[in-house]
Amino acid sequence: MIEFLGTGSARPTKDRNVSSLLLHHAKASFMFDCGDGTLRQLINSPIATPTRIEAIFITHLHSDHYYGLPGVSVAFRETEDESGYEFDTVKKRPVFSPRGLKSRMGRLLERQLNIEEFGTGKMEKSGVHYDNNLPLENHVIYENQYLQIAAFFIHHAIPSAAYIVREKPTRILDLDLLKQKYNMPPSPLYAQLQRGLSVTFNGRNVKPEEVSQELSGRCIAILGDTCNPNGLIPYIEGCDVVVHEATGLEMDKTSILQKFHSTGAMAGQFAKRVKTKQLILNHFSPRETMAGLPCSEADYQKRILEEAREAAGSDIKVTAAYDHMAFSIPRKRERNAHFNRAM
């Protein structure tokens, strides 16, 4: 599940905080960007639990994307009572970022966070920045038993990253079949079957393909600020969800491009090129003028959504994110009541 904590750009408004989102997966959470005020958004979240955050990923070092780190890091302190005294026990989380975060906030964050930087800080004129200094093969910077997260650079005014989250394949057991056909109660044998191993129970050989379904992993592309992410296309074609900035309207495209941002229509065109199923727009401008005339922030953003949908086409679902919006991503599976599990 994706939970948007902040969906505005540059500065907060009464309805939108600046950039941050959480990916909730397998009882853990992963934060992408952490603009100022993110701690308050976490506190007000009906879903998030700060201590479940396993890692933080910063897309780029503009203030509306990382100034909230000191506040959020405080939420990681867990207070223990022992012999009448209080002790701070802190599990240090990794925070991944393009090069430069350590020099800006290293001393401030060192008690709660391990800063892991990537990239040389050099900029390419367009597309992906193929950087040999990324720490692992295939740009993978984080991996656990459930998923991999890879980083690629996309074009912006400063080095800006896109994070590609790929879930590993998994097996979902048909619990009713195990009980009815094999009379097998819950036991460690279940874990072996989920790992794709055959087991023996009551003298019968039980194969995993007989009692489970292998589900291919989901893919989520979370893009930082950009005016040209086209170099990502070979890596995310067919991705389930693309999160893309939509700073403004086509009528304002010249000024938006001058700041290396994208319009809603540009986001829609990119979604069409990568053949995604779902485009989610964020990073909306707080602009309150349209064609030189006053308008509400909501009306301006509604028009951004309309332009994105028109550019993406009818085969792609386009959604405008709002603060505390939660979005579940269905698994790639057959419709079967026994196999029902959401990210």
φ, ψ (nearest 5 deg) of residue 250: -60, -35
Cα gap 42→22, rounded to integer Å: 10
Cα gap 24→42, rounded to integer Å: 13
Cα gap 229→243, rounded to integer Å: 12
In order of 104, 109, 219, 256, the CA distances from 144 in angstroms are 28, 24, 15, 38
Cα gap 166→148, rounded to integer Å: 5
φ, ψ (nearest 5 deg) of residue 165: -100, 120
Q: What is the dihedral of CA 65, 324, 149, 118, to 10 degrees?
A: 10
**Residues 194, 200, 202, 203: is their CA dihedral positive or negative?**
positive
Diameter of the chain measured on Cα atoms: 79
DSSP state of 94: E
Q: What tokens were used for 40?
A: 């308050």
Residues marked as catalytic: 64
Cα gap 225→246, rounded to integer Å: 9
Q: What tokens were used for 45?
A: 């979240």
User: Coil, helix or strand for 293?
Assistant: strand
